[in-house]
Structure 1
Amino acid sequence: MRALTWQGKHDVRVETVPDPEIVNPRDAIIEVTSTAICGSDLHLYDGVIPGLMSGDILGHEFMGRVVETGPKSTLQKGQRVVVPFTISCGKCFHCMKQQYSACDNSNPVEKQDLSEPLYGHAMSGLFGYSHLTGGYPGGQAEYVRVPFSDVGPIVIPDGMDDDEVLFLSDILPTGWMAAENADIEEGDTVAVWGCGPVGLFAVQSALVMGAARVIAIDHHPHRLELARKLGAKVIDYTQTKMLEALMEMSGGFGPDAVIDAVGMESHGFAPDAVSDQVKQAVGMGADSAHALREALLAVRKGGRVSMPGVYGGFVDKFPLGALMEKGLQVRTGQTHVQKYTKDLLKRIQDGELDTTFMISHRLPLEEAARGYENFRYNQNEWTKVVLKPGTSLS
């Protein structure tokens, strides 16, 4: 089959690789009909996530058609399914608490030593996201083996297009959980750093959850316009003094809740951001956290901090004093996708949530490298890229 493989920093290639096979009784094989490039894929593309090996298949946002099942799979051949990026057994301590992204059984034992020294515990399995998370082949391919297929995939009703439901695999539940982690109350002011796909879905979710005002922060004009169309007030951080603007827009109080949808590759021209980027480039520091620092300083006393943005290592100059002295609550983590998919599917069917506005480009899988390059360097125009295996779409 054809699949997108990682070969090194800024080097991804579509190659012919072996077809996946059923390994365990709960497995299924999916023929991929749509797969997307995620913002967190760019961390792999930029080489800031450890644990990748040459030839690894990327991609964790995908859906498709069931073509083969193991004897203990609950799926049936021919069903259309969306597959969560989190690989979860459904039976361990964490899965039973609906903490699916903390599954104890999905990261193979021989891989757990890679992440346990970094984080104190082994990470769960994720599709296409380095050997820290199990080394599972990803979904930017013609076919994918799906472990624990009786737990993860959600069957899609007839009549719904891929574009409507593809993002149930990751970014829609991630944006929703980000807003949920912000513990939004009626009348709240919520500030969201980053108007990429997760940030935009966090904006949409916060408004659905009852926020009176959502302030979206970015510097790409088109992304800010998408946020404005969703109903957000917007700030171009290159054109204003952020903390002053947020205080003014919140009546001198500060936002009730803040959402960092940027993560480890925060950019900007503030001294801390420039310092982070230099250290990241030369390998002295893993994460650039300017957006997170700014969010912690901006949020009101007693406020809530939600962090859906991906961080992988260490952060310098962390304002721990502000966190403690202001009495802030922080919630973060990889998304417990399976917890949200049924509810979000219904909200899509009922017209309460829209996902298709996000898609800017559709490309055949063979042009995935072009999609990555543009999604990385032309983020204003390339808001979301969907890849279509087995097509000549242009």
Structure 2
Amino acid sequence: MRALVWHGRKDVRVDTVDDPEILNPRDAIIRITSTAICGSDLHLYDGYIPTMKSGDILGHEFMGEVVETGPGSTLKKGQRVVVPFTISCGSCFHCGKHQYSACDNGLPADNQDIAQTLYGQPMAGLFGYSHMTGGYAGGQAEYVRVPFSDVGPIVIPDGIEDDKVLFLSDILPTGWMAAENAQIEPGDTVAVWGCGPVGLFAVQSAFLQGAERVIAIDHYPRRLELAAKFGAETINYEDSDVYDALMQMTGGIGPDACIDAVGLEAHGVFFDNVVDQIKAATFLGTDRTHVIRQAILACRKGGRVSMPGVYGGFVDKFPLGAFMEKGLTLKTGQTHVQHYMPALLNAIMEEKIDTTFMISHRLPLEQAAEGYRMFHDNQNDVTKVVLKPDWAEAAE
């Protein structure tokens, strides 16, 4: 089959690789009809996530048609499914609490030591996202093996096109959980750093969960325009000091809740961010954490900080004193996608949530490498690239 393969920093190619096979009774094989490039895939592209190996197949946002199942799968051939990016068993302690991204059994035994060394405990597996998250082949391909297929994928009713439901795989539940983790109360003001796909869904979700005001922070004009269409007020950090602007907009109190939808590759010419970039380039650090620092300093006393942005390693200059003295609450983590998928699918079918506005570009799978370069280099115009294998394009 054809698949997008990681060969090194900023080196991804569509190669011919072996077709996936059923390895465990609960497996299923999915023929991909739509797959997307996620902003967190750019962390892999830029070489920020450790334990990647040349030959790894990328992609964790995908959907398609079931073509083969193991005897323990509950799926049936011919069903259309969206697959969550988290790989979870459904029966461990954490899955029992609907904390699917904390699954004890999502990682193969050979990969658990890597995660335990880096993070203290192993987490759920992730498709196409390094060997510390399982080394699973991703879905930017013609076919993919889906472990625990009786737990993860959600069946899509006939008549609903891919574009409306594809983002159930990751960014829509991630944006929703980001807003939920902000513990929004009626009348709240919520600040969202980053108007990429997750940030934009967090803006939409914050309003749906009861926020009175949402303030979106970015520097790409088109992304700020998209946030404004949902009713958000906007700050362009290249034109304004974010802290000063937030204080002015909130009467000196600060936002009730702050959402960091940026993560480890914060941009901008700020002293702390420049130092972080130098440390990352010289292997003295890994993550650029300007946004989470700024969110902590700007959040009102007694407020909440939600961090859906991906971080990979260790940081310094973390404002722990401000965090403690201000009595803040921080909630974060990979998304418990399986928990949110059914309700969000219903919201899409009832037209309470729109996802199609996010798609800016569509490309054949064979042009996936160009899609990565385009997304990486032109984030003002590129919000989401959807890739389709040849047969999916022909079917349309």
TM-score, normalized by length of structure 1?
0.99
Q: Counterpart of 1:262? A: 262
Structure 2: 5+ residue stretches without partners: none
Q: Counterpart of 1:168? A: 168
User: 1:301-316 alignment to 2 at 5 Å?
Assistant: 301-316=301-316
Q: Is the 8 A contact 1:115 1:132 kept in 2?
A: yes
Q: Counterpart of 1:97? A: 97
Distance 1:178 1:392, change over 3 A: closer
User: 1:96-245 alignment to 2 at 5 Å?
Assistant: 96-245=96-245
Q: Report the alpha carbon displacement of residue 284 of structure 1 after superposing the two structures with TM.
A: 1.4
Q: Is the 8 A contact 1:6 1:58 kept in 2?
A: yes
Distance 1:250 1:45, change over 3 A: same
Q: Secondary structure at the match of 1:264?
A: coil
Q: Which amino acid aligns with 2:375?
A: F
Cα separation, 1, equivalents of 2:201 and 2:26: 32
Q: Secondary structure at the match of 2:390?
A: coil
Runs of 4+ in 1 over 6 A off after TM superposition: none
Is 1:3 the equivalent of 2:3? Answer: yes
Q: Is the 8 A contact 1:363 1:393 kept in 2?
A: no
Cα separation, 1, equivalents of 2:392 and 2:187: 48
Is 1:285 the equivalent of 2:257? Answer: no
Q: Is the 8 A contact 2:34 2:392 kept in 1?
A: no
Cα separation, 1, equivalents of 2:176 and 2:309: 13
Cα separation, 1, equivalents of 2:392 and 2:336: 34
Cα separation, 2, equivalents of 1:301 and 1:106: 38
Q: Is the 8 A contact 1:362 1:393 kept in 2?
A: no
Q: Is the 8 A contact 2:13 2:369 kept in 1?
A: yes
Q: Counterpart of 2:63? A: 63
CA root-mean-square deviation: 1.0
Q: Counterpart of 2:355? A: 355
Q: Secondary structure at the match of 2:82?
A: strand
Q: Secondary structure at the match of 1:151?
A: coil
Q: Secondary structure at the match of 1:59?
A: coil
Q: Counterpart of 1:374? A: 374
Q: Which amino acid aligns with 1:340?
A: Y
Q: Report the alpha carbon displacement of residue 282 of structure 1 after superposing the two structures with TM.
A: 2.1
Cα separation, 1, equivalents of 2:147 and 2:336: 16
Q: Which amino acid aligns with 1:107?
A: L
Q: Counterpart of 2:332? A: 332
Cα separation, 2, equivalents of 1:28 and 1:90: 16
> Residues 68-103 of structure 1, C-alpha deviation per residue, up to 9 Å, x if partnerless?
011111000000000000000000000000000011
Q: Secondary structure at the match of 1:291?
A: helix
How many equivalent residue pairs? 394
Q: Is the 8 A contact 2:85 2:126 kept in 1?
A: yes
> Residues 38-80 of structure 1, C-alpha deviation per residue, up to 9 Å, x if partnerless?
0110000000100111000000000000000111110000000
Cα separation, 2, equivalents of 1:216 and 1:140: 30
Cα separation, 1, equivalents of 2:156 and 2:391: 21
Q: Is the 8 A contact 2:33 2:392 kept in 1?
A: no
Cα separation, 1, equivalents of 2:159 and 2:41: 30
Cα separation, 1, equivalents of 2:391 and 2:266: 35
Q: Secondary structure at the match of 1:338?
A: helix
Q: Percent identity?
A: 73
Q: Which amino acid aligns with 2:238?
A: T
Q: Secondary structure at the match of 2:64?
A: strand
Q: Secondary structure at the match of 1:352?
A: coil
Cα separation, 2, equivalents of 1:300 and 1:33: 45
Q: Which amino acid aligns with 2:250?
A: S
Q: Is the 8 A contact 1:296 1:322 kept in 2?
A: yes
Q: Report the alpha carbon displacement of residue 391 of structure 1 after superposing the two structures with TM.
A: 5.1
Cα separation, 2, equivalents of 1:77 and 1:68: 6
> Residues 1-34 of structure 1, C-alpha deviation per residue, up to 9 Å, x if partnerless?
0000000000000000000011111110000000
Q: Secondary structure at the match of 1:94?
A: helix
Cα separation, 1, equivalents of 2:169 and 2:313: 25
Q: Report the alpha carbon displacement of residue 309 of structure 1 after superposing the two structures with TM.
A: 0.1
Cα separation, 2, equivalents of 1:391 and 1:230: 35
Q: Secondary structure at the match of 1:112?
A: helix
Structure 1: 5+ residue stretches without partners: none
Q: Report the alpha carbon displacement of residue 125 of structure 1 after superposing the two structures with TM.
A: 0.7
Q: Report the alpha carbon displacement of residue 106 of structure 1 after superposing the two structures with TM.
A: 1.2
Cα separation, 1, equivalents of 2:113 and 2:96: 24
Q: Secondary structure at the match of 2:135?
A: coil
Q: Is the 8 A contact 1:123 1:132 kept in 2?
A: no
Q: Secondary structure at the match of 2:191?
A: strand
Cα separation, 1, equivalents of 2:186 and 2:30: 42
Cα separation, 2, equivalents of 1:5 and 1:193: 31
Cα separation, 1, equivalents of 2:343 and 2:46: 34
Q: Is the 8 A contact 1:28 1:69 kept in 2?
A: yes
Is 1:13 the equivalent of 2:17? Answer: no
Q: Which amino acid aligns with 2:17?
A: V
Cα separation, 1, equivalents of 2:53 and 2:269: 33
Q: Report the alpha carbon displacement of residue 123 of structure 1 after superposing the two structures with TM.
A: 2.4
